[in-house]
Structure 1
Amino acid sequence: MSVTDLTTPLTSPSGAASGPGTPPSASVARRRIPRVGVMLATAWLVLLAIAALAAAVGLTVDPLANDYSVISQAPSLAHPFGTDNLGRDVFSRSLHGAAASAVVALVTVVVGGGIGILLGVWAGLRRGFADAVVGFLTDVTIALPSLIIVATIVTLTGPSLPTISLTIAGFAIPVFARLSRSATLAIATENYVIVARTLGASGWRILTREVLPSVLPIMMPFIMTTLATAIVAEGALSFLGFGLRPPEPSWGGLIAEGRTQLPVAPWVTLMPALLLCATILSINVLGEHSREAKR
């Protein structure tokens, strides 16, 4: 996981990059393009969430049901994404794979982000020995090969959504802690924080009421990045055989299963891969939008 480059071109007060010779119509067009992108990204994620929820409650075809009368059938009205070599509906399996990826991403943000941000804010406010210990632990953890360790843990404990989600979340904690600590060091010098200290506010009140509400908006772009990273990590683990065991569907597992069927049924790999790419792109668009909005 890495933080995106925060360098951006100079913009006019309206938010669009423009110069003395930029026509008004061009400036308006440049402002509309990001809005359209944000709307499309939001619409895609909402639609995917609704479809995945519908699949989770059983409103789609059973993703594990074999139908040998429609083996390797091309996309059609009955099977929008086609079927695989066992006659299973790729559309239904892809939606169930989306649910698995969503669980991993949300657990990573809620658990890893929650613990990491609280730890980083606490270290940034306390400083001294506490800050040194947190800094040492984050440096050591970030230096570890996280994907290899996650794969090892999953192999030893058995592949399951809780194991995969919590292990990936554990490696997100130090990154969140480091970034939130850096934000806290800047916020701690603001007048309202100094006034709260002078008036005798407790450390917990300063953390929760003064500093944390200011840190969370700063962390939003990285939270979006972490959502995308967690989805990619889960997909990579499943693709390499360390994720959910077949026939349980996951995007990475579906892509891996379809490799042997590419000559006769390319849609088995193509459709979940397109869903994965569109989801990651949409999350990144919203993350970029939140970063620009914060600026």
Structure 2
Amino acid sequence: MAVLEIDGDTALASPVAKRRKLGGLFLCAVAWVLLIGLAAVFATILPIASPTDMDMLGKRALPSAEHLLGTDSLGRDILSRLIYGARVSLTVGLLSSVIGVTIGGALGMLAGYFRGRLETLTVGGVDVLLAFPPLVFLLAVLAYLGQTVLNITLVIGVLSIPAFTRVARAVTLSLSEREFVVAARALGATHGRILLRELLPNVSLPLVAFFLLGVAVTIVVEGALSFLGLGVPPPAPSWGSMIAEGRESLDIAPWLAFLPAGTMFITVLAFNIIGDTLRALTDPRPGAL
């Protein structure tokens, strides 16, 4: 077991010490994300009601054995709609961030490693995408292609590319002249080998942390689109659309809006905590955590 001598005191540099740095809040965030993810994946086999079945005689019912979180203004089971709504939010959040980190990460690494004209073109293209109003782009594309999960995922994924490109380029620039890269060049390693074997493992760590933060932002974006009526069309459940439907009953049944809003808030907070913790752990600066 490795030990570090700091001002005469012995500190253990072990996995146990690193786990202590993670803290209980991080573990709670991971547990919540796993719970929401598993519920969304296995929604079809869970013993819950259909999210679209209506019961006009049981509108805005309070929690009971039949409906654990009650029913909405159309008599639909709220728990079921929250779980199926998690499918939409997590699908859009994860897949759009995968698009961003894959394309943006590759572009950023190439630009930061080769520099020159490629870097100029990449940075220029990123600046153009960042300057274009994202809401206008979303409205135009969704109005033309239609409001489906696939289209929403693709559009948000394209809009997330510039952020990942900047992160990957910045990290690659800081690593491209490090000793291990210089040594690989001196040994005759090809550009492809250096990018894949030397730089990618080091660039991927901050990208994973930023990926989780991107998932949190994307969930909020999807919720905002659904709230405005630009997300997945009804009767498919979505957290944003549930909040929009619940605001009409705030005076008599405020939980219809607060439950999906609270679920989205906790999920976004959990992804932010995980992402921030991993970012701190992968930050090479002393005292980053």
* Shared fold per TM-score greater than 0.5: yes
CA distance in 1, matches of 2:101, 2:43: 28
**Inter-partner Cα distance in structure 2 for 1:56 and 1:157:** 28
Distance 1:273 1:145 in 2: 26
Counterpart position of 1:3 = none
Match of residue 260, structure 1, among 248, 271, 278: 248
- Tell me: CA distance 1:294–1:193, structure 2 relative to 1, closer, same or farther (3 Å): same
Shift of 1:32: 6.4
| 1:125 lines up with 2:89 in the alignment | no
Q: Is the 8 A contact 1:67 1:88 kept in 2?
A: yes
1:251-273 CA distance string (max 9 Å, x none): 10110011112222222111111
Cα RMSD between the aligned structures?
Answer: 1.8
Tell me the alpha carbon deviations over residues 201-259 of structure 1, each in whole angstroms, 9 at most, x when there is no partner. Answer: 22111111111111011223311110101100100100011101111111101100111
**Cα shift at 1:58:** 6.0
Of 246, 268, 278 in structure 2, the residue corresponding to residue 280 of structure 1 is: 268
Q: Which residue of 1 aligns with 2:10?
A: none
Identify the residue that residue 143 of structure 1 maps to in structure 2: 131
- Who is 1:107 aligned against? 95
Q: TM-score, normalised by structure 1?
A: 0.86
Alpha-carbon shift at residue 56 of structure 1 (Å): 4.1
Give distance in 2, aligned partners of 1:256 and 1:202: 55
State the shift of 1:109 in Å. 1.9
Other structure's SS at 1:66 match: coil
**C-alpha distance after superposition, 1:89-111 (max 9, x if no partner):** 01101111111011011112211
Partner of 1:234: 222
In the alignment, is residue 84 of structure 1 matched against residue 56 of structure 2? no
Q: CA deviation at 1:34?
A: 5.6
Distance in 2 (CA, whole Å) between partners of 1:239 and 1:86 is 18
**CA-CA distance at 1:181 after TM superposition:** 0.6
For residue 203 of structure 1, what is the aligned residue in structure 2?
Answer: 191
Aligned-residue sequence identity (percent) comes to 39
Q: Deviations over 1:77-129 (max 9, x none)?
A: 32122111211001101111111011011112211111100110011111111
Unaligned runs of 5+ in 2: 6-18, 284-289
Change (3 A) 1:75 1:150: same
2:101–2:207 Cα contact (<8 Å) kept: no
Q: Is the contact between residue 228 and residue 280 of structure 1 (CA under 8 Å) also seen in structure 2?
A: yes
- Structure 1 residue 68, shift from structure 2 partner: 2.3
For 1:203 and 1:67, how far apart are their aligned partners in 2?
63
Runs of 4+ displaced beyond 3 Å: 31-34, 56-59
* Matched letter for residue 72 of structure 2: D
CA distance in 2, matches of 1:33, 1:116: 31
How far off is 1:59 after superposition? 4.3
63-72 or 225-234, which deviates more: 63-72
Does structure 1 conserve the Cα–Cα contact (< 8 Å) formed by 2:213 and 2:276?
no
Does the Cα contact within 8 Å between 1:74 and 1:267 map onto a contact in 2?
no
Tell me whether 1:224 sits opposite 2:212 in the alignment: yes
Give deviations 1:261-293, integer Å, cap 9, x for gaps.
222222211111110000011111111211222
What do residues 17-44 of structure 1 show as CA deviations (whole Å, max 9, x unaligned)?
A: xxxxxxxxxxxxxx96961101111111
For residues 47-196 of structure 1, the aligned pairs below 5 Å read 47-57=35-45, 59-196=47-184
Counterpart-to-counterpart distance in 2, 1:78 and 1:151: 40
- Structure 2 CA distance for aligned equivalents of residues 189 and 254 of structure 1: 51
Q: Deviations over 1:160-211 (max 9, x none)?
A: 0000001000011111111111110110011111122222222111111111
Between 1:263-272 and 1:95-104, the stretch displaced more is 263-272
Residue among 8, 29, 34 paired with 1:41? 29
User: What letter is aligned with 2:175?
Assistant: I
> Which residue matches 1:21?
none
Shift in alpha-carbon separation, 1:110–1:59, aligned structure 2, 3 A: farther
Distance in 1 between residues matched to 2:227 and 2:193, nearest whole Å: 45
Letter in 2 for 1:62: S
TM-score, normalised to structure 2, is 0.88
Do the aligned partners of 2:96 and 2:154 also contact (CA within 8 Å) in 1?
Answer: yes
